Amino acid sequence: MQQLKSALITFIVLTIITGVIYPLIVFGFGQTFASYEANGSFITVNGKVIGSALIGQGFTDNKYLWGRASATGDHPYNPLASGGSNLASSNPELLKAVVDRVNALGANVITPAPIDLVTSSGSGLDPEISIAAAYFQIKRIAKARGVSEDNVEDIINKNAKYPLLGFIGEPRVNVLEVNLALDGIK
Amino acid sequence: MIIAYIDLALFIVVLTIISIVLGCYIALVFNGNIGYLSFIERPLYKLIGNTGEMKWGQYATGIMLFNIIGIIFVFIFQLIQGALPLNPQHLGATTLDLALNTAISFVSNTNWQSYTPEATLSYLTQMLALAVQNFLSAATGIAVLIALIRGFVAVEKGTIGNVWQDLVKSTLYILLPLSLVLGFGLVKLGVPQNFKNYQDVQLINPQIVSTTVDGKVTTKIYTTQTIPMGPVASQEAIKMVGTNGGGFFNANSAHPYENPNAISNWLEMLAILLIPGSLCFAFGRMVGDKRQGYTLYAVMTIVFIILAIGVMLAEFNGNPAFNHLSIDGFMNLLQSGGNMEGKEVRFGVFGSGLFAAVTTAASCGAVNAMHDSLMPLGGLVPLFLMQLSEVIYGGVGSGLYGMLIFAVLSVFIAGLMIGRTPEYLGKKIESFEMKMVALVILVVPLLVLLGTAISVVIAPGLAGMSNPSAHGLSEVLYAFTSAANNNGSAFAGLNANTPYYNLMLGFTIFVGRYGVIIPILAIAGSLATKKRLNVTSGTMPTHGLLFSGILIGVIIIVGALTYVPALALGPIVEHLILFK
C-alpha cells in the first residue's frame, strides 16, 4: 500500500513538472525569442496568410515551380495526414508511378528528370526541391510567363541554398519562396 | 561517398566528446555529489515517504506500479480527450484497442504508433499523456540501469538503491535540462510551440487534383490548406533525448515542423545517442574502472559505424529499377540523387541514411525518411540493428543494461573456453545469473519470430501488408522486431491500426519490456549480495581489444543466428530479385 501511494505521488508530481511546467517554459521561450518560428513560420502577403515557409503546397499551374510528388492521405499536400507512399523499392506500383511522372514531365534522354522530382517525399509536405529539379522546370515556366529563361534562372539562383560547410544538408530551393519571387512579391 | 564519411566522422567525434562530459555529470548525480535541485527533491521525498534502500523485489514492484499507473492514465486519457480542453479539432475518443496499444507503447519507451496523430489526438493528450511518458519511460530505463550498476558495486549488501529517488533524479537532473536546451534550439530552428487552432492558409495557386475511380475522372479544387499547430518543440526534444521516437505528426521527423533543416537533423541525431552513449562513461566511473566504460562504448561505436555506412551506401546507389528511365539519379552539386522515394530533399540520402542507422541503433524509432521505401539492403540495416537486441547504444538505460547482459554472457562463454569460473567486475557469475541472462536473451527473439510466424499465416495478419511478396514479410518482421525491442519505428505501409495488430503488438511490446526489466533487477539483487573478488593475475580482463572482439562476436552471433533465416526470406530475397 505504501508502495502504491509512493508511486502515485511520484507519478503526479513528475506529470505536472514534465507535462505542464516544461512545455510552458518552452512556449514562453519560443514566443519571446522566436515568435515567427514558434507560430509556424507563416508568410503573409497583403494581410493574407498564403502559406508556411516549411509546409509544401501542390502547385499545378505551368507558370509556377512545382514541388515533389506527395502521398499524403486523401489528397496531395494535405497536412492533416502527413506521410509517404511507403511503396517498397521493389514494388511494381512504384515503378509505374515513377514512369507516369517521367512522362508527364516530358523528360527524355537529353533532359532527364531529376530523381527527387519523380519520387514522393517522406512527409508528403516537402517544401523544397533540389536545384537540379528547379533548373529542369525553367523552360516551362519561362514559356508560360513569356519571360526569358535567364530571368527565371536568376530567380532560382537567388533562392538556392547549398550545404553548410559543404557536407551538412543538400542543395535545394524552397518552392513557395521561388514562386513568390516569380510573382514579384518577395 | 567521401562527404558521407566526413559527416559520419564529425558526428562520432562530437558525440564522443559530449558523451564523456555528460557521463561524468551523470555519475556525479547518482553518486550523490550534485544536489542543486535538492530544494525540490527534499519536500518531494518527504511526500513520497519511502526513500530507504530497497531489495530487488521492492525495486521491481515500484517500477511495475509506476509503469502500470502510467498505462492506465494514458489509456483513460485517450478515451476522455473529447471532453477536455486544448482540442481544437474536437477529436473524440480513440478505439479501445488503439488506446491500449498506444498506452503500452508510450509507457514502455517504444512509441510504436498505429494512428495518425494530427487527426487522432488533441494537443492536451500529446502534451500531458504522451510527452510525460516520454520522460517517465526514459527515467525508468535509467533507474533500472543504475540499479544494475549498484548490484555490481555493492559488497554483500542485498539492496540496490531507492526506486523513487532514481526516477526523480533521472527526470530532474538528466532528462529535463537536456530537453529544455534542445527544445529551445528546435524552436529557434523552426519547430512550432503554440496552442493555436489549426491554421487555414489561402493558396496562391489553387490546387487541382484529378482522381480516376473506375474509369471516371473527378476533379477537385482546393483553395486552402489546413495546417496543424501545437506544442511540438517540447515534445520533439524529449522524443529524441529519451530515445522515444513518437512523432507529434504522422510523418514523424520527416515532417518539416518536427525537423525543419539539416542542422535540426544533426541535433536530433546527436540527442538520440547522447544519453545512451554517456551512460557508458558514467558506468565506468561508477564501477571505479573507466576502462570498462570505454570498452563498451568502443564496441557500440565500431558496430554502429560499419552498419551506418552500409545503409548510406545502399541509398546512395539508388534504385536499379529506374536505370532504363529518363531520370538523373546521380549525386552532384545540384542534387542529392540516390533513392529519394520517401525522403526529404533537405536531408538527402546521407542525412536520411545516417538517421535511419542512429534511430534503430538506439531504440528511438523516430524516422526522417520512410523506412518502408528504403532499398532492400538499406532496410535490412535498421532491421538488423534492432535485432541485435538494441544494445548498439540502445535505448536510454535499456541499451546499456542490455549490453551488460551480453558482457556477462561473453565472460561466461570465455570462462567455459579457458575453464575458469566466470566473473565480471569482481562478481562471480553463477547459475542464477546465467538463468536470468538466458531468459533475457531468449524472450525477445521468441516474441519476434513467433509473432511474425503467426501473422503471416492468419487472415487478419496478412490483411495488414501493403507491399507484395518478400517485402510484405519484411513489413511484418519489422513490426514485431520493432515492438519486441521497444524501438517503435516501422515499415509504415503495414496497416497496423486494426484490433489484431494493436493487441498482438501491444502484448509483444509489454513482454519485450518488462520480461527483460524484471530478470535484470533480479540479477542486480543477486549480484549485490556477493563478495567483490580482487583482481589477480588469473582474472580475465573485461576491457581492451581481446574482450571487445569477444563481445562483438557474441552480439553478432546471437543476433545473426537467431534472425538470418527470416532476413534471408525478406530483404535478402527482395534485393536479389531487384538486382537480378
Nearest to B19 by CA among B403, B306, B216, B297: B297
Q: B-chain residues within 8 Å CB-CB of A112?
A: 326-328
Are residues A2 and B50 in contact, defined by beta-carbon separation less than 8 angstroms?
yes
Are residues A168 and A54 in contact, defined by beta-carbon separation less than 8 angstroms?
no
Cβ contact (<8 Å) for A115 and B220? no
Distance, in Å, from the CA atom of B341 to the CA atom of A118, rounded to the nearest integer, reads 9
Q: B-chain residues within 8 Å CB-CB of A70?
A: none
Question: What pTM was computed for the model?
Answer: 0.96
* B69 touches A: beta carbon within 8 Å: yes
What separation in angstroms does the CA of B316 have from each of A120, A162, B377, B573? 17, 19, 12, 20
Distance, in Å, from the CA atom of B339 to the CA atom of B312, rounded to the nearest integer, reads 10
CB pairs under 8 A between A and B: 397
Looking up cell 527515467, which residue turns up? B139
Distance, in Å, from the CA atom of B284 to the CA atom of B149, rounded to the nearest integer, reads 10
Cβ contact (<8 Å) for A58 and B135? no
Q: B-chain residues within 8 Å CB-CB of A169?
A: 261-263, 346-348, 351
Cβ burial of B32 (10 Å; 0-12, 13-18, 19+) is: exposed
Encode pLDDT of B311-336 as tens digits.
999 999 999 999 999 999 999 999 99
Cβ contact (<8 Å) for A38 and B208? no
Give how far A149 is from chain B: nearest CA, Å. Answer: 18
Partner residue opposite B345 with nearest CB, options A8, A49, A128: A128
Provide the grid cell at A61. 499551374
Q: What is the average per-residue pLDDT within A80-108?
A: 95
Alpha helices in chain A (DSSP H): 2-16, 22-33, 35-38, 92-104, 131-136, 138-145, 149-159, 175-182
Q: Which three-class secondary structure state does DSSP give residue B114? A: coil
Q: Which of residues 121-140 of B touch A (CB under 8 A)?
A: 127-129, 131-132, 135-136, 139
Q: Which three-class secondary structure state does DSSP give residue B393? A: coil
Q: What pLDDT is attached to residue B303?
A: 96
Provide the grid cell at B135. 520522460
Looking at the DSSP assignment, which residues form a beta bridge with residue B373?
Answer: none
- DSSP code for A43: E
* A142 touches B: beta carbon within 8 Å: no
Distance, in Å, from the CA atom of B397 to the CA atom of B403, rounded to the nearest integer, reads 10
* A144 touches B: beta carbon within 8 Å: no
Close Cβ partners of B97 (under 8 Å, ≥ 6 residues apart): B498, B499, B502, B503, B506
Q: What pLDDT is attached to residue B373?
A: 96
Cβ contact (<8 Å) for B262 and A25? no
* B261 touches A: beta carbon within 8 Å: yes
Distance, in Å, from the CA atom of B264 to the CA atom of B72, rounded to the nearest integer, reads 34
What separation in angstroms does the CA of B403 have from each of B152, B399, B443, B567? 14, 6, 16, 23
Provide the grid cell at A4. 502504491
Q: What is the average per-residue pLDDT within A5-15?
A: 97
Distance, in Å, from the CA atom of B82 to the CA atom of B87, rounded to the nearest integer, reads 7
- Taking residue B202's Cβ as centre, other Cβ atoms within 10 Å add up to 13
Q: What pLDDT is attached to residue B213?
A: 80
Angle at B461 between CA B558 and CA B73, to 5 degrees: 80
- Find the Cα–Cα–Cα–Cα dihedral B350, B353, B356, B358, rounded to 10°: -60
Cβ contact (<8 Å) for A18 and B135? yes
Angle at B137 between CA B386 and CA B195, to 5 degrees: 110
Give how far A131 is from chain B: nearest CA, Å. Answer: 5
SS (H, E, C) B415-458: HHHHCCCCEECCEECCHHHHHHHHHHHHHHHHHHHHHHHHHCCC
Indicate whether A128 pLDDT > 90: yes
Give how far A35 is from chain B: nearest CA, Å. Answer: 9
Are residues B519 and B126 in contact, defined by beta-carbon separation less than 8 angstroms?
no
- DSSP code for B175: I
The pLDDT mean for chain A works out to: 95
Nearest to B80 by CA among B120, B119, B125: B125
Q: Pick out chain B residues at pLDDT < 70.
A: none
What separation in angstroms does the CA of B361 have from each of B26, B302, B464? 22, 12, 26
Are residues B331 and B289 in contact, defined by beta-carbon separation less than 8 angstroms?
no
Q: B-chain residues within 8 Å CB-CB of A5?
A: 49
Q: Which three-class secondary structure state does DSSP give residue B335? A: strand
* B79 touches A: beta carbon within 8 Å: no
Cβ contact (<8 Å) for A27 and B325? no
* B120 touches A: beta carbon within 8 Å: no
Are residues A63 and B310 in contact, defined by beta-carbon separation less than 8 angstroms?
no
Are residues B480 and B505 in contact, defined by beta-carbon separation less than 8 angstroms?
yes
* A86 touches B: beta carbon within 8 Å: yes
- DSSP code for B295: H
Alpha helices in B456-498 (DSSP H): 459-462, 469-484
Interface with A, mutate which of B328, B466, B576, B579 (most A CBs under 10 A) = B328
Partner residue opposite A86 with nearest CB, options B202, B227, B370: B370
Provide the residue ranges of all domains of chain A, joining segments of one domain with +.
1-39, 42-183
Provide the grid cell at B275. 544519453
Encode pLDDT of B70-84 as tens digits.
999 999 999 999 999
Provide the grid cell at B58. 521492492
Encode pLDDT of A46-62 as tens digits.
999 999 999 999 999 99
Cβ contact (<8 Å) for A125 and B319? no
* A177 touches B: beta carbon within 8 Å: no
Q: What pLDDT is attached to residue B539?
A: 85
Give how far B133 is from chain A: nearest CA, Å. Answer: 8
Indicate whether A185 pLDDT > 90: no
- DSSP code for B153: H
- DSSP code for A20: I
Cβ contact (<8 Å) for A126 and B73? no
- Transcribe B200-213 into DSSP letters: EEEEEEEEEEEEEE
Residue of A nearest to B491 (CA): A86
Amino acid identity, position A160: A
Are residues A19 and B77 in contact, defined by beta-carbon separation less than 8 angstroms?
no
Nearest to A38 by CA among B183, B245, B270: B183
Provide the grid cell at B304. 554502429
pLDDT class of A165 with cuts at 50, 70, 90: confident
Q: A-chain residues within 8 Å CB-CB of B7?
A: 167-168
Residue of B nearest to A20 (CA): B128
Are residues B509 and B484 in contact, defined by beta-carbon separation less than 8 angstroms?
yes
- Taking residue B415's Cβ as centre, other Cβ atoms within 10 Å add up to 16
Distance, in Å, from the CA atom of B413 to the CA atom of B29, rounded to the nearest integer, reads 34
Encode pLDDT of B251-280 as tens digits.
999 999 999 999 999 999 999 999 999 999
Q: Which three-class secondary structure state does DSSP give residue A52? A: strand
Provide the grid cell at B440. 533475457
pLDDT class of A186 with cuts at 50, 70, 90: low
Give how far A171 is from chain B: nearest CA, Å. Answer: 6
Q: What is the average per-residue pLDDT within A33-53?
A: 95
> Rounded to the nearest 10 degrees, what angle do helices B544-567 and B398-418 cross at?
110
Residue of B nearest to A127 (CA): B256
What separation in angstroms does the CA of B22 have from each of B18, B33, B164, B273, B281? 6, 14, 22, 12, 8
Rg (CA), chain A: 22
